[in-house]
Structure 1
Amino acid sequence: MGNYLNIGNAGFVSARKGTYVDKTGMISFINRTLGTADKLTCVSRPRRFGKSFAAKMLCAYYDKSCDSRKLFDGLEISGDASFEKYLNKYNVIYLDITEFTSDAFVKREMPNVVINLERKVIDELGAAYPDVARQDSLPNMLYDISEATGHKFIFIIDEWDALFRENRTDEFLQESYIRLLRGLFKNSGKTDRMIEAAYMTGILPIKKYGTQSAMTDFREYTMLAPRRLAEYVGFTEPEVKELCGQYGMEFEEVRRWYDGYSFHRAKSIYNPSSVMEAVKNGELANYWTQSETYESLKIYIEMDEDGLKEAVAQMLGGSKVKIDTISFQNDMITIRSRDDVLTLLVHLGYLSYDIDDKSVSIPNEEIREEFVRAVTMGKHTEIAKLIRDSDQLLEATLNMEEETVAAAIEEAHKTGIAPTFYNNEQALRSIIRVASAVWTNT
């Protein structure tokens, strides 16, 4: 077993030793794409939404260097007609792009990260196939191996977009990376003869140049449109109910904290990492965002985009906000409008997208807490003041101090909404709901 070629099933062994929610049904979906025109799959999800678990599961299933039959016993895929046909039958190349970018950062070799990635994989291939002449190009090396042996490869690339996220302004490096991926997956004369399938995960969808994807042959499943993979975005409601029963947790409270992502094929999807932490600890808390600082959210909601402040205020009050997602370029720097910011926040998991009415909202209590924290510690001083004054407004309401309440709402109206929205009835309603939301959760 190697570091990149046929890494084995150790990652999935670890997952199976703990509490495991069966997501192996996704394997049957990938099996149907093998060797077809749909063999290239890119799945984008927020951090800690199970992307790496899925990648390790696929490695364990396809990797011909190991025997994973017992690992899948009793799981959904074991009853599928395709289970035996593809189990441990392929050479698998697994690449965790964060490994390469982190190593390059430590060694101060970031400009060479793509070159080093290609070289390391070629070295392993050369050791595994000594009779095939070494090439300096990974696509050419794979092609020669396939032609000499008849073997095709399955690529599993985890965090494919890490280079774009960590090297946001290095366009030359990004373009060299895209060229490598195109050489592997968009070479009409070679790809079909050497690649049986590819499965990429990332936080962002594939980078766009204008309106076109950088790799148009990939079928994408995103937080905007997960399509047939919707139930694998996170935990479904039946899965969460079962976990709550196992661990003696109150389901309705777990739902309030971690539900909120909804798609055509899965109406109620939960943050998987947070649910697992909550049931294991027996305590509801903000687990997902503990893995980040609030800066991740704060940077984007502080951008000076027209209408962004009003959108944040409305969503904090529980309202939905209409957006147009088309112009977003699937990167973190080409942000031209309020809608680009909000679309990015959907991909990062901070907002839920309703495809039917093309709107976004804050999905649950866990994320609402993070928005409040980012706003109160950020530069949106008007909204921050509204939140800080909510306790005073609540006290005046409970004491039935009509004039104080009226004055406070008037101040909130002027504080939270731009002057052009002052006479907008929906704007006033949203401001009142902001205060109400704060009261409810304090």
Structure 2
Amino acid sequence: MQKLGVIIDSEDMYKKFKDLLNQEFFVDKSNIINDFNKLIGKDGSCNVCITKPRRFGKTSIAAMLTTYYSVGIDSQEIFDKLKVSKGKKIEQYRKFQGKYHTLYFDFSSELYKYNSLNALLDSINDILKDDIKYIYPNINVLNNDKNDNLIYNLRNLHRKTKDFIIIINELDSVIFSNRFTPDDKVKYIRFLKSLIKDKSYSAFAYMTGISPIAKEFSQSTLNCFDEYSMLDDDEYYQYFGFTEQEVRDLCEKNKKINKNSKIKYENLENWYNGYKAYNGEKIFNPWSIYHALADDRIENYWTKTGRFDELVNIINFNILGVKDNILELIKGKKIKIKLENFGAENNLNSSTNNKETNEKTNEKKLKAELYSKMVTFGFLTYYDGKISIPNKELEEKFINVLRKYKDLEYYYNMINNSGKMLEMTLEKNPKEICKILGNSHMENIKPGDKMDHCNLKRVVEFAYFNARINYIDEEVGKGKGIADFIFYPKKKSQTVIIIELKVDGSAKKALKQIHRKKYYHDLKNDGYKGNILLLGINLNTENELYSCIIEERDNKLKEISVDEYPKSEMKEKLINLILKIKEKLIKNLMVYIKD
């Protein structure tokens, strides 16, 4: 083992990789080395930029590359046990192992210390010079003249030593930091270009970040990388995040380590699955999977690694259609949209107040950029031209966003009450169902708001939000039309729920429509063996009163019971009349008091 520095053959990265190897749930991603080895020496293809959400393994790969390529690290014993050393590529594996100096730059490290780009680069240059003095005390590399800068010192070092493997971690930290001016950010992109492009000292470069790098920003163009992002990666997607097979293997390993573990693959899939590769392959968030297995508990791990309000700050509800889209996504829908690539140039353009860009923006473009940003940051996934919320962990994050906005808090409350709503439905308690709907309505629907069939349907859909745990909800019908809701149980022995809605009609009319249209047709032939609950729900918009009737039938359609609230239409009319009289009395009393 030779001397290791902070930047040159980074000791920190070497230690990090050794720590990763010692983890109980280590996943071997070393085959990416063979993929990268094929690029060394290929003009125009030897620089790769990987942009993925935080905690998706970018830094772990950087630590592995540092350990493998560094001339200062004897890594044969480590990698001879890993996948990279197996198979037909053994010669290539030996050829490049330990043959380079790696240069590790982390641009996210201690940014709070610097108020300008020059101060940051000077600090990095000072660290590099200390490394050179420590590793090569007898070689005259540093002249300390007026050309003393990072790139100049790298050129001089290269003349006396080996080619470099350059690793740049968290590239976009500077661009998204408020500590640097717009001019500094533009200069930073130019610096990166000067560091990498057409440099004889660079054999290969691996760059990481969250946002794709700027390729379209005037003279700052950084086009010397092949880039792979959450929106476009058909080469390296399997190395960032865990594949389905890797998660299954970890579950098998967990059984041997912890025989009393409660965690099964199905638990992990149910809560954390959802990201899709370009080919539809499942990708899991590695941070969440690791901690769920280590803690033997399903929790929201990844969403805790960022600020609580980060999603609130990203979503712009002022863009036309975004509010409706977010509500649809929370309900588990997929939205078809053509996305715009979001990257560092978006931040640069906004920072420099690019007039041309501002003139061209419109609602459609803004929406595409917003959703692209959310995919880039890992809050949404994009597959087959559609965006969706990847998993239940993130779904809860989106639900929490609702309570931050006055006009969306209604849906947040409905979701929180949805467990009670399903419970009352299965208990055939129409009074409680009306009470749940009525309370939320009174608390959150503003006077003058339009409450048509479409909005009522949305309210009821959120009221039954938790039904999706055990049910598949579809707006379909086997008979002569389409029901508002049919909840098909995942276990076919359980109860099927069919709901029809009316506005300013009656609950009985809604129930009659279910029978007239025969929405329950063929349920028995489809294998459903449980009873069927038919619900008619009506909203009287004038008095904001709900009525509900629940009819239970067996799977042969024989009636079992009928429960109604209010007990009769006459009673409902009487209640309405009493409310009108009450309202009139209050008005007369107010007039009397004024007089």
Q: For residues 354-374 of structure 1, what are the alpha-carbon distances to aligned partners after superposition, in whole Å with 9 as ceiling and x for unaligned?
A: 1x2x22101111111111122
1:205 paired with 2:189, answer no
Tell me the CA shift for residue 84 of structure 1: 0.5
Is residue 264 from structure 1 mapped to residue 278 from structure 2 by the alignment?
Answer: yes
Work out whether 1:25 is the aligned partner of 2:28: no
Name the SS of the counterpart of 1:99 in structure 2: coil
Q: TM-score, normalised by structure 1?
A: 0.86
Q: Residue 323 and residue 112 in structure 1: after superposition, are their counterparts in 2 closer, same or farther (change >3 A)?
A: farther
Residue number among 234, 238, 241 corresponding to 1:231 in the alignment: 238
Once residues 312 and 187 of structure 2 are traced to their aligned partners in structure 1, the CA distance between those partners, rounded to angstroms, is 31
Partner of 1:138: 150
Of the three residues 227, 239, 253, the one matched with 2:267 is 253
- Paired position in structure 1 for 2:97: 87
The alpha-carbon distance between structure 1 residues 361 and 432, as it changes in their structure 2 partners (threshold 3 A), is farther
In structure 2, the residue matched to 1:375 is: 402
Over aligned residues, Cα RMSD in angstroms? 3.3
Paired residues of 1:6 and 1:65 also in contact (CA < 8 A): yes
Residue 60, structure 1, aligned to residue 52, structure 2 = no
Change (3 A) 1:59 1:378: farther
CA displacement at 1:139 relative to structure 2:
2.4
Inter-partner Cα distance in structure 1 for 2:399 and 2:336: 21
Are 1:364 and 2:391 counterparts? yes
Q: What residue number does 1:5 align with?
A: 8
In the TM superposition, 1:88-103 aligns within 5 A as 88-103=98-113
Shift of 1:143: 2.6
Farther-moved stretch of structure 1 (131-140 vs 218-227): 131-140
CA contact (8 A) 1:294 1:374 kept: no
2:381 counterpart (352, 362, 372): 352
Quick one: which of 160, 166, 173 aligns to 2:177? 166
CA–CA distance in structure 2, aligned partners of residues 367 and 237 of structure 1: 19
Which deviations, in whole Å up to 9, do the C-alpha atoms of 1:142-164 show, x marking residues without a partner?
A: 23333x33621111111111112
Q: Please list every run of 5 or more consecutive structure 1 residues that lacks an aligned counterpart in the other structure.
A: none
Is the 1:397–1:405 Cα contact (8 Å) retained in structure 2? Answer: no
**In the superposition, relative to structure 1, how do residues 391 and 237 fare at CA in structure 2: closer, same or farther (>3 Å)?**
closer
Instruction: Name whichever of 429-438 and 74-83 sits farther off.
Output: 429-438
Which residue type is aligned with residue 144 of structure 1? N
Give TM-score, length-normalised by structure 2. 0.65
The answer on whether the counterparts of 1:316 and 1:437 sit within 8 Å (CA) in structure 2 is no
SS at match of 1:48: coil
Say which structure is richer in helix.
1
Where in structure 2 are the equivalents of 1:354-433 lying within 5 Å? 354=383, 356=384, 358-379=385-406, 380-388=408-416, 390-391=418-419, 393-394=421-422, 397-398=425-426, 399=428, 401=430, 404=434, 433=461
Deviation at 1:389, TM superposition (A): 5.2
Are residues 327 and 251 of structure 1, via their aligned partners in 2, closer, same or farther at CA, if it must alter by over 3 Å? closer
- Work out whether 1:16 is the aligned partner of 2:21: yes
Distance 1:30 1:95 in 2: 19
CA contact (8 A) 2:415 2:463 kept: yes
1:133–1:332 CA distance, 2 compared to 1 (3 A): closer
For 1:292-311, list aligned pairs within 5 A: 292-311=306-325
Secondary structure in 1 aligned to 2:120? helix
Q: Is the 8 A contact 1:393 1:405 kept in 2?
A: no
Deviation at 1:128, TM superposition (A): 4.7
Residue from 285, 290, 293 that aligns with 1:276: 290
Change (3 A) 1:125 1:423: farther
Q: What SS does structure 1 have at the residue aligned with 2:211?
A: coil
CA distance in 1, matches of 2:404, 2:304: 16
Give the counterpart letter for 1:197 in structure 2.
Answer: F
Match of 2:223 in 1: 216
Q: How far apart, in 2, do the equivalents of 1:98 and 1:170 lie?
A: 16
Compare CA radii of gyration and give the structure with the larger one. 2
Q: 1:376: Cα distance to partner?
A: 2.1
> Could you tell me which of 288, 300, 305 is aligned with 2:302?
288
Size of the aligned set, in residue pairs, is 427
Contact persistence 1:91–1:154 (CA under 8 A): yes
In 2, the alpha carbon distance for the partners of 1:154 and 1:430 equals 55
Q: Which residue pairs with 2:545 in the alignment? A: none
Letter in 2 for 1:351: L
Distance 1:347 1:300 in 2: 12
Counterparts of 1:423 and 1:58 in 2: how far apart (Å)? 58
Considering Cα pairs closer than 8 Å and 6+ residues apart, tell me whether 1 or 2 has the greater RCO. 1
Q: Percent identity?
A: 28
Q: Conserved in 1, the CA contact under 8 Å of 2:418 and 2:466?
A: yes
In structure 2, give the amino acid aligned to 1:381: E
* Structure 2 segments unaligned to the other structure (5+ residues): 256-262, 351-357, 471-595
C-alpha spacing 1:288/1:114, structure 2 compared with 1 (3 Å): same
Write the deviation string for residues 209-244 of structure 1: whole angstroms up to 9, x where unpaired: 459983111111111112111111201111111111
Shift of the alpha carbon at 1:170? 2.2
